[in-house]
A and B are shown apart, each in its own frame.
Chain A
Amino acid sequence: MTTTHAHAKVSPDAYLPMMGKVVEVREMTARENYFRLELPRPLGHRPGQFVMVSVLGIGEAPISISNGPTTTNTLELVIRRAGRLTQVLSELKPGDLMGIRGPFGSGFDMSWFDGKEILIVAGGLGLVPLRSLIQPLVANADKYPSITLLSGCRNPAEELYREEVREWSKHPKLRVIRLVDGTENMPWDGEVGLVTAPIPKLDIKPDRTIAVLCGPPVMYKFVIIGLNQKNLPHDRIFVDLERRMKCGVGKCGHCQINDVYCCQDGPVFRFSEIEHLPEALL
């Protein structure tokens, strides 16, 4: 029989991983490791995109890209030990290989931020993907009247990118407020409180401010309540959501939030795009 179907020759490339070589591993906290990889080619990603990371024979999971856009072959990831695959990933050493597919998802368009006062709210692991945005913002800081980062975590031992966040706070354009829910009797040089606590005191201009949120599911609602009190329009609030994607190309169904696909329509959304979706946030 002849084959006459329109898509007889479709490439399976979207499902085939390229091999990234681990060149640096750093223990960031008791649960999180930082990895720097060299890929066979530049990833060509936008801030806020993600990759599917695998160890062949063990499994695959969606992981946020943590470095800003680059023309080099570098990929940076921070991976929390949460299950079987991430346990194996956490044991990788320089020279070992990770399977990488992607980049996937919408990500941030840097032109959204031009001339805006920027508020970034990161809760826990939320700082990991947001670093891919903060890096290009810092690199082009003269484009933005102000950049404020609220970075919260549970306790001092769980703080991510410790040195880098302190470097950012020295930048004249950047205001960084670091918070922990509680010090748990550890030394701490930041503030104590929930990541929402500083919002009432911030100078948020409804016509000029743009807010970006990423954190655990429970965080969004409370940050948005705070931003509502500042009358920030919902199409100027960006949320970076998490789902457990299996494919990255809108087929596997796992990342569906009502009728949108987190892996393609997101994971970065304007809050106005998803506020009517009951399954988007808690």
Chain B
Amino acid sequence: MSEFLTTVSSAVAWIKGLAGRHELFFPLKHGSANYSFQPAGPSADIQFEKYRPTIVPPVKKMLPARDTLFTFVKSPSGEPTVTPTLDTAPRILAGVRPCDLKGIHLMDTIFENGVADAYYAARRANTAVIAYACPKPCDDRAFCHAVDSLDHRAGADVILTPLKGDDMLVEALTDKGREMLAGVDFPKCADAAARKVGAVAARPEPFGRALGAKVSALPAVIKKQWKSDLWDKHTERCFSCGSCNLVCPTCYCFDVQDDLNLDTTSGHRTRTWDACMLPEFAAVAGGHNFRPNAAARQRHRVKRKFEYLTERFHEGAFCTGCGRCGRQCTAGIDILDIVKDLASAEVES
């Protein structure tokens, strides 16, 4: 029995208590209009009411922009000692919304598949996630419900669900979650399932933007659109800057680079975020570029989110509906508009 019924202010007090004892990240104000996951202390502005998706999703705490794979030191004879650098510092990500929780779950899937990634795994194993089930859309760009991530739960250790009035349902899903709640005297909740049904019923309808098609139908729809002129239409304004990739919770492509220290005998190898929208992403050594124009790259990005990875991993769409790519795009290109157009073109044809 790991379900409790408490109040919003008690839940906030609990998170502040954790923040006093652990490294805890929470979406805090960043500039005048934005939020970002920042280290929060016991006096941080922990609240759930005011929120829009953080500029960068919380999963990037496991996949930092620059991730050192190893350091090396060369002996006078040139023989190097290579030391992997795994980050095992414990941390808590709190206030993670369902779209971002799904993003974390999808990256768990990717980085545990095949040759499991030790760098992701080291951080993930030492990260606890306290999720928050959104009672209303965070802003007018969200389309989490349309891509089935609004009710996502896997990957969370604790899920907070706001209920009527000032009530808050607290559920521990894992041992890690139960551990964080140990010694907290929240009253037990015997009818959690019914209360969750009530919370869903109280949500506004429609919840966020609609897709105009079932997300499960998209792989088949998009497969037929290889030659569609919609790819060109939706990249006429594209600067190929890669911002959409950098802020996406399910973009994980990387480049690898070496750096030599000034002593020229030591240095490190780092993986850095890369972006399939950048012009050189699919170029090979001979100079040939397999995706030479923005339309081909946009098509690749959309197909990865809604077809390729969906079919490979059977975890639904690899777009979580957070709306970040559209929010951050200099030209205002929005992946939902692209997919909606593809789906309606399918109906017309």
Contacts and interface: CB of A to CB of B under 8 A. Distances in A.
Interface of A: 1-8, 10-17, 19, 54-61, 80, 82-83, 86, 96-97, 216-217, 242-244, 246-247, 249-254, 256-259, 264, 278-279, 282
Nearest to A5: B125
Given A1-B176, A252-B255, A278 B72 contact: no
Contacts of B114: 249-250, 264
Nearest to A80: B285
Given A12-B119, A254-B281, A279-B291, A6 B112 contact: yes
Given A4-B176, A249-B114, A257-B290, A97 B284 contact: no
Given A246-B256, A253-B254, A254-B281, 10 more contacts: A1-B128, A2-B175, A12-B118, A19-B80, A54-B258, A57-B264, A59-B258, A61-B285, A259-B303, A279-B300
B72 A2 contact: no
B252 A251 contact: yes
Contacts of B215: none
Contact of A244 (B80, B82, B117, B285): B285
Most chain B CB inside 10 Å of its own CB: which residue of A1, A12, A58, A249: A1
Interface string B278-306: 00011111101011000010001001100
A166 to B, nearest CB: 26
A264 to B, nearest CB: 7
Interface string B104-122: 0000001111111111011
B131 to A, nearest CB: 16
B74 interface: yes
A3 B253 CA distance: 27
A25 B256 CA distance: 27
Nearest to B174: A4
Contacts of A3: 125-126
A16 B256 CA distance: 13
A178 to B, nearest CB: 21
A243 B264 CA distance: 30
Which of A60, A217, A252, A259 has the most chain B CB atoms inside 10 A of its CB?
A259
Contacts of A15: 69-70, 84, 118-119, 269
- The secondary-structure label for the interface of chain B is mixed
Contacts of B9: none
Interface of A is mostly: loop
B179 A12 contact: no
B248 to A, nearest CB: 12
Contacts of B288: 216-217, 282
13 contacts: A3-B126, A4-B175, A4-B176, A59-B256, A83-B285, A97-B79, A97-B80, A246-B254, A251-B252, A251-B254, A252-B254, A253-B276, A257-B290
A10 B291 contact: no
Given A12-B86, A15-B69, A258-B303, A58 B115 contact: no
A12 B120 CA distance: 10
Contacts of B312: 259
A55 B264 CA distance: 12
Interface string B250-273: 001111111110001001010100
Q: Which of the listed residues A242, A244, A251, A257 has the most CB atoms from chain B within 10 Å of its own CB?
A: A251
A253 B274 contact: yes
B253 A56 contact: no
A259 B128 contact: no
A39 B269 CA distance: 21
A16 B70 contact: yes
Nearest to B266: A57
A195 B69 CA distance: 43
A256 B300 CA distance: 9
